[in-house]
Chain A
Amino acid sequence: DTEVTQTPKHLVMGMTNKKSLKCEQHMGHRAMYWYKQKAKKPPELMFVYSYEKLSINESVPSRFSPECPNSSLLNLHLHALQPEDSALYLCASSQGDRTNYGYTFGSGTRLTVV
């Protein structure tokens, strides 16, 4: 299994809603990442988990809350988002957080905040 699976593929939420994005991989990768990508821009790093511990938080607003329940799963909890948070949210994994190997990306969740 060489995939990173993200659910849901699309999500529309109001500014007062609470929702969660999910990411799963079964490649034995020990580093997992959340990225945010706006149209015609490269991915922007949000969080890095290394061996299930948060190792990097790129000054992301607290309305985004990551969680890593185990080595295969990564969640992103969303609360009180703003319309400007609408974007493609990408999960990725790699063999380690200092990897020289490629990062495997999921297909993303297209989030629209109304």
Chain B
Amino acid sequence: EDQVTQSPEALRLQEGESSSLNCSYTVSGLRGLFWYRQDPGKGPEFLFTLYSAGEEKEKERLKATLTKKESFLHITAPKPEDSATYLCAVQALAGNNRKLIWGLGTSLAVNP
């Protein structure tokens, strides 16, 4: 069964304390892995798409990496404004369509 698991469920960091969020997946026919950031009461904000193992992408303090089984979102020297829920989603084949399978998210709090 296709599945996406994110860990930890919640993470509290001090400002400047770097860390990583994990997204492990088991899907057949991977067609991309997406990272989103979501603030309370808002829609998810697209961060990255990764397509193949070994791929890396960076944006400001965030860096996403992908292996055949998992993806990491590395946060370097986080600031309080990085506090949000980070969602991972995998696009997989579903018959003639493609389907997004979501993890439950990691709630990140960065204290000043």
Interface residues of A (CB under 8 A from B): 4, 6, 40-43, 45, 48, 55-56, 88, 90, 92, 97-108, 110
Residues of B within 8 A of A (CB): 31-32, 34, 36, 41-46, 49, 51, 87, 89, 91, 97-100, 102-105
Residue of A nearest to B102 (CB): A42
Q: Which of B31, B42, B97 contacts A100 (CB 8 A)?
A: B31
On whether the beta carbons of B43 and A102 are closer than 8 Å, the reply is no
| A108–B43 CB distance below 8 A | yes
* Cβ-defined partner of A98 (8 Å) among B46, B51, B98, B105: B98
Instruction: State whether A103 touches B34 (Cβ < 8 A).
Output: yes
- A110 in contact with B44 (CB, 8 Å): no
Residue of A nearest to B43 (CB): A105
Q: Which residues of A contact B45 (CB under 8 A)?
A: 105
Contact in complex: B46, A103 (CB < 8 Å): yes
Complex: how many Å from CA A97 to CA B98?
7
Smallest CB–CB gap between A5 and chain B, Å? 11
The answer, among B31, B34, B51, B97, for a CB contact under 8 Å with A56, is: B97
B36 contacts across to A, CB distance below 8 A: 105
